[in-house]
Chains A and B, each alone.
Chain A
Protein backbone atom coordinates (compact mmCIF):
# COMPACT_ATOMS: atom_id res chain seq x y z
CA UNK A 1 0.00 0.00 0.00
CA UNK A 2 1.05 3.55 -0.70
CA UNK A 3 2.06 5.43 2.37
CA UNK A 4 2.12 9.19 2.59
CA UNK A 5 3.61 10.37 5.85
CA UNK A 6 3.31 13.85 7.26
CA UNK A 7 5.88 14.53 9.92
CA UNK A 8 3.60 16.13 12.50
CA UNK A 9 -0.05 15.61 13.43
CA UNK A 10 -0.27 18.80 15.47
CA UNK A 11 1.81 21.96 15.44
CA UNK A 12 1.47 25.18 17.39
CA UNK A 13 3.49 28.15 16.16
CA UNK A 14 3.64 31.85 16.87
CA UNK A 15 2.84 34.63 14.44
CA UNK A 16 5.87 35.51 12.34
CA UNK A 17 7.64 32.17 12.75
CA UNK A 18 8.91 30.26 9.74
CA UNK A 19 7.15 26.91 9.61
CA UNK A 20 8.10 23.75 7.73
CA UNK A 21 5.59 20.99 7.02
CA UNK A 22 7.16 17.83 5.72
CA UNK A 23 5.65 15.09 3.57
CA UNK A 24 7.22 11.84 2.39
CA UNK A 25 5.75 9.17 0.09
CA UNK A 26 7.14 5.71 -0.46
CA UNK A 27 5.73 4.71 -3.87
CA UNK A 28 7.96 6.65 -6.25
CA UNK A 29 5.09 8.94 -7.27
CA UNK A 30 5.93 11.78 -9.62
CA UNK A 31 3.14 14.13 -8.53
CA UNK A 32 2.77 15.63 -5.08
CA UNK A 33 0.29 18.17 -3.72
CA UNK A 34 -0.37 20.35 -0.72
CA UNK A 35 -3.96 21.20 0.20
CA UNK A 36 -5.43 23.04 3.13
CA UNK A 37 -8.78 22.01 4.54
CA UNK A 38 -11.09 24.43 6.31
CA UNK A 39 -14.68 23.92 7.51
CA UNK A 40 -17.19 24.95 4.86
CA UNK A 41 -14.48 25.52 2.26
CA UNK A 42 -13.41 21.95 1.53
CA UNK A 43 -9.93 21.37 0.17
CA UNK A 44 -8.03 24.14 -1.56
CA UNK A 45 -4.84 23.52 -3.50
CA UNK A 46 -1.80 25.49 -2.35
CA UNK A 47 1.04 24.11 -4.49
CA UNK A 48 1.86 21.03 -6.46
CA UNK A 49 4.87 19.45 -8.10
CA UNK A 50 5.23 17.10 -11.06
CA UNK A 51 8.91 16.37 -10.64
CA UNK A 52 11.96 17.07 -8.56
CA UNK A 53 12.74 20.78 -8.35
CA UNK A 54 9.51 21.62 -10.17
CA UNK A 55 6.60 23.46 -8.58
CA UNK A 56 3.33 24.97 -9.70
CA UNK A 57 1.05 27.38 -7.89
CA UNK A 58 -2.37 26.18 -6.95
CA UNK A 59 -5.37 28.31 -6.08
CA UNK A 60 -4.10 29.87 -2.85
CA UNK A 61 -0.27 30.09 -2.94
CA UNK A 62 0.06 33.45 -1.19
CA UNK A 63 2.09 33.21 2.01
CA UNK A 64 3.44 29.77 1.14
CA UNK A 65 6.36 28.27 -0.72
CA UNK A 66 7.43 24.69 -1.39
CA UNK A 67 10.54 22.63 -1.89
CA UNK A 68 11.05 19.38 -3.74
CA UNK A 69 14.70 18.41 -3.66
CA UNK A 70 14.04 14.67 -3.72
CA UNK A 71 11.29 12.76 -5.47
CA UNK A 72 9.84 11.30 -2.29
CA UNK A 73 9.74 14.50 -0.24
CA UNK A 74 7.62 17.62 -0.67
CA UNK A 75 7.88 20.39 1.90
CA UNK A 76 5.47 23.24 2.51
CA UNK A 77 6.97 26.41 3.97
CA UNK A 78 5.15 29.23 5.68
CA UNK A 79 7.63 32.08 5.42
CA UNK A 80 6.05 34.13 8.20
CA UNK A 81 3.14 32.38 9.83
CA UNK A 82 -0.07 34.32 10.37
CA UNK A 83 -3.23 33.47 12.28
CA UNK A 84 -5.22 33.05 9.06
CA UNK A 85 -2.97 30.12 8.21
CA UNK A 86 -4.38 28.13 11.11
CA UNK A 87 -5.78 25.11 9.31
CA UNK A 88 -5.50 21.42 8.52
CA UNK A 89 -2.84 20.75 5.89
CA UNK A 90 -3.03 17.65 3.73
CA UNK A 91 -0.30 16.25 1.53
CA UNK A 92 -1.08 13.88 -1.34
CA UNK A 93 0.71 12.04 -4.12
CA UNK A 94 -0.16 10.20 -7.31
CA UNK A 95 1.46 8.66 -10.34
CA UNK A 96 1.75 10.52 -13.62
CA UNK A 97 -0.30 7.90 -15.46
CA UNK A 98 -3.29 9.86 -16.65
CA UNK A 99 -6.09 11.81 -15.07
CA UNK A 100 -7.82 8.80 -13.47
CA UNK A 101 -5.05 7.95 -11.02
CA UNK A 102 -6.34 8.45 -7.47
CA UNK A 103 -4.61 10.66 -4.95
CA UNK A 104 -3.13 9.09 -1.84
CA UNK A 105 -3.34 11.32 1.20
CA UNK A 106 -1.43 11.65 4.42
CA UNK A 107 -3.31 11.96 7.72
CA UNK A 108 -2.84 15.70 7.85
CA UNK A 109 -1.09 18.26 10.03
CA UNK A 110 -3.28 20.50 12.14
CA UNK A 111 -1.47 23.80 12.45
CA UNK A 112 -2.42 26.45 14.96
CA UNK A 113 -0.83 29.88 14.70
CA UNK A 114 -1.20 32.04 17.80
Chain B
Protein backbone atom coordinates (compact mmCIF):
# COMPACT_ATOMS: atom_id res chain seq x y z
CA UNK B 1 0.00 0.00 0.00
CA UNK B 2 0.86 3.69 0.21
CA UNK B 3 2.15 5.21 3.40
CA UNK B 4 4.48 7.84 4.80
CA UNK B 5 6.52 7.70 7.97
CA UNK B 6 8.11 10.83 9.34
CA UNK B 7 10.08 11.51 12.47
CA UNK B 8 8.05 12.28 15.51
CA UNK B 9 8.30 15.62 17.18
CA UNK B 10 8.31 17.94 18.70
CA UNK B 11 11.56 19.35 17.41
CA UNK B 12 12.94 22.36 19.25
CA UNK B 13 15.83 24.36 17.83
CA UNK B 14 17.57 27.66 18.38
CA UNK B 15 17.52 30.24 15.62
CA UNK B 16 20.13 29.61 12.89
CA UNK B 17 20.41 25.91 13.74
CA UNK B 18 20.38 23.22 11.06
CA UNK B 19 17.11 21.35 10.56
CA UNK B 20 16.47 17.83 9.32
CA UNK B 21 13.08 16.15 9.41
CA UNK B 22 13.22 12.58 8.19
CA UNK B 23 10.58 11.11 5.90
CA UNK B 24 10.40 7.67 4.33
CA UNK B 25 7.66 6.19 2.20
CA UNK B 26 6.19 3.06 0.67
CA UNK B 27 4.21 3.37 -2.53
CA UNK B 28 2.66 1.41 -5.35
CA UNK B 29 4.03 2.73 -8.58
CA UNK B 30 6.04 5.94 -8.88
CA UNK B 31 4.89 8.57 -6.43
CA UNK B 32 5.25 12.31 -6.37
CA UNK B 33 6.50 13.58 -3.03
CA UNK B 34 5.56 16.71 -1.14
CA UNK B 35 6.26 18.66 2.00
CA UNK B 36 3.42 20.75 3.38
CA UNK B 37 3.61 23.27 6.20
CA UNK B 38 0.87 24.34 8.59
CA UNK B 39 1.33 27.60 10.46
CA UNK B 40 -0.70 28.16 13.64
CA UNK B 41 -4.39 28.68 12.94
CA UNK B 42 -4.08 27.99 9.24
CA UNK B 43 -4.63 25.18 6.77
CA UNK B 44 -1.79 23.33 5.09
CA UNK B 45 0.15 24.92 2.28
CA UNK B 46 2.58 23.39 -0.15
CA UNK B 47 6.22 23.97 0.78
CA UNK B 48 7.98 21.99 -1.95
CA UNK B 49 7.62 18.95 -4.15
CA UNK B 50 9.56 16.49 -6.29
CA UNK B 51 8.03 14.34 -8.98
CA UNK B 52 10.77 11.89 -9.92
CA UNK B 53 13.86 10.21 -8.53
CA UNK B 54 16.83 12.49 -7.77
CA UNK B 55 14.71 15.63 -8.15
CA UNK B 56 15.35 18.27 -5.53
CA UNK B 57 12.50 20.45 -4.38
CA UNK B 58 13.31 23.76 -2.76
CA UNK B 59 11.51 26.80 -1.37
CA UNK B 60 12.14 29.42 1.33
CA UNK B 61 15.54 27.90 2.11
CA UNK B 62 14.10 24.41 2.61
CA UNK B 63 15.24 21.51 0.45
CA UNK B 64 14.36 17.86 -0.01
CA UNK B 65 15.73 15.29 -2.47
CA UNK B 66 13.69 12.39 -3.82
CA UNK B 67 15.80 9.30 -3.05
CA UNK B 68 14.31 6.25 -4.69
CA UNK B 69 17.04 3.89 -3.48
CA UNK B 70 16.31 4.70 0.17
CA UNK B 71 12.61 5.63 -0.37
CA UNK B 72 13.24 8.88 1.45
CA UNK B 73 12.44 12.57 1.13
CA UNK B 74 14.09 14.26 4.10
CA UNK B 75 13.46 17.97 4.68
CA UNK B 76 16.47 20.19 5.44
CA UNK B 77 17.18 23.82 6.11
CA UNK B 78 20.60 25.24 6.85
CA UNK B 79 19.53 28.03 9.21
CA UNK B 80 16.08 28.09 10.74
CA UNK B 81 14.22 31.21 11.83
CA UNK B 82 11.59 31.80 14.47
CA UNK B 83 9.07 32.25 11.66
CA UNK B 84 9.66 28.62 10.57
CA UNK B 85 7.85 27.39 13.68
CA UNK B 86 5.02 25.26 12.32
CA UNK B 87 3.91 21.69 11.74
CA UNK B 88 5.51 19.97 8.74
CA UNK B 89 3.87 17.12 6.85
CA UNK B 90 5.48 14.78 4.36
CA UNK B 91 3.09 13.37 1.76
CA UNK B 92 2.95 11.30 -1.39
CA UNK B 93 0.61 11.06 -4.34
CA UNK B 94 0.23 8.29 -6.89
CA UNK B 95 -1.76 8.10 -10.08
CA UNK B 96 -4.36 5.64 -11.21
CA UNK B 97 -7.62 5.32 -9.32
CA UNK B 98 -6.34 7.47 -6.45
CA UNK B 99 -5.35 10.38 -8.70
CA UNK B 100 -4.87 13.54 -6.71
CA UNK B 101 -5.22 11.92 -3.33
CA UNK B 102 -2.41 12.57 -0.85
CA UNK B 103 -1.15 10.17 1.79
CA UNK B 104 0.23 12.09 4.76
CA UNK B 105 2.69 11.42 7.51
CA UNK B 106 1.65 12.28 11.05
CA UNK B 107 3.34 15.65 11.06
CA UNK B 108 6.33 17.06 12.93
CA UNK B 109 5.95 20.08 15.17
CA UNK B 110 8.93 22.47 14.88
CA UNK B 111 9.53 25.23 17.41
CA UNK B 112 12.37 27.67 16.88
CA UNK B 113 13.52 29.83 19.79
CA UNK B 114 15.26 33.19 19.33
Contacts and interface: CB of A to CB of B under 8 A. Distances in A.
B43 A42 contact: no
B99 A105 contact: no
B78 interface: no
Nearest to A93: B100
A94 B43 contact: no
B42 A107 contact: yes
Interface in B68-114: 89, 93-95, 99-102, 104-107
Interface residues of A, number: 27
Contacts of B93: 99-101
Contacts of A50: 99-100
Interface in B25-66: 31-32, 34, 36, 41-46, 49, 51
Interface extent on B, as a size class? 20 to 34
A90 B43 contact: yes
A33 B101 contact: yes
Given A90-B43, A102-B49, A43 B89 contact: yes
B49 A100 contact: yes
Given A31-B99, A45-B101, A99-B93, 9 more contacts: A43-B44, A50-B99, A58-B101, A94-B100, A99-B94, A99-B95, A102-B34, A103-B46, A108-B42
28 contacts: A31-B100, A33-B100, A33-B102, A40-B106, A42-B89, A42-B104, A43-B44, A43-B89, A43-B102, A43-B104, A48-B100, A90-B43, A92-B44, A94-B100, A96-B99, A99-B31, A99-B94, A99-B95, A99-B100, A100-B49, A100-B51, A101-B93, A101-B100, A102-B46, A103-B46, A105-B44, A107-B42, A108-B43
